[in-house]
Amino acid sequence: MADARRLGAGRLVIATHNAGKLREIAALLAPYGPQCLSAGSLGLPEPAETGTSFVANALIKAHAAASASGLPALADDSGLSVAALGGRPGVYTADWAERQWFEGEPGRDWFMAMGKVEGMLAGIGPDAPRDAAFHCVLALAWPDGGQAVYEGRCDGALVWPPRGNRGFGYDPVFVPAGEAQTFGEIDPEHKHRISHRADAFARLVAEQFGRA
């Protein structure tokens, strides 16, 4: 059940350690007043994402950040689903980018992840459908356990090789429906208007700030 409270102009923890995701979320929220700070800047640990859905994982992250910080927190759980791969990688979108320890540091290799998707499509055959969709779930949580959830989606198709160095994650291989450029090439302001995250944010803004 959604919480009846509404966000104001106070501090809001964005439950992420990803600088690109923080910038995108902060830009989307900028017109509405919340003072965004990241879980990473507060030194908060990243909780284990043990859920089997985007909603479950977003709620895990939001509640962990709200509880640890004593502030309302907003978490995003998003991912890519590829029709020909039965909806994979889905909730394991980021996991497909995990690499082994390298020079003492763990990390994610998104080119490797994009290549894995492309390799699996190639294994199906040259006529494999390339339809895909990005999904986004935004979860708001308050320190006392209150919560609200908003879901968004952007349909499109995959291309290869990757194009563009904007965005993050799988953006360079995803062309949204009705566009000619990938999310890695497209102007960030335009992406903010059409992305899966923008769709979810439109729902959040309508409820939290009373604006369409």
pTM over 0.95? The answer is: no
Q: Angle of helix 19-29 relative to helix 196-208, nearest 10 degrees?
A: 40
* Sign of the CA dihedral running 60, 195, 11, 1: negative
Given the residues 3, 76, 77, 199, select the one marked as catalytic.
77
Nearest-angstrom CA–CA distance, 190 and 201: 14
Give the burial class of 202: count Cβ atoms within 10 A of its Cβ; 0-12 exposed, 13-18 middle, 19 or more buried.
Answer: middle
Tens digits of pLDDT across the chain (212 residues)? 456 577 777 899 999 888 877 887 888 888 888 889 999 889 999 899 889 999 999 999 999 999 999 999 999 999 999 999 999 999 999 888 886 544 445 578 888 999 999 999 999 999 999 999 999 999 999 999 999 999 999 999 999 999 998 878 899 999 999 999 999 999 988 988 899 988 999 999 999 887 65
3 noted as active-site residue? no
Q: Which single residue is written with the structure tokens 């990688």? A: 89
CA gap 167, 86 in Å, rounded: 25
Which domains does the chain carry? Answer: 11-208 (3.90.950.10)
Q: Residue 211: its pLDDT value, please?
A: 62
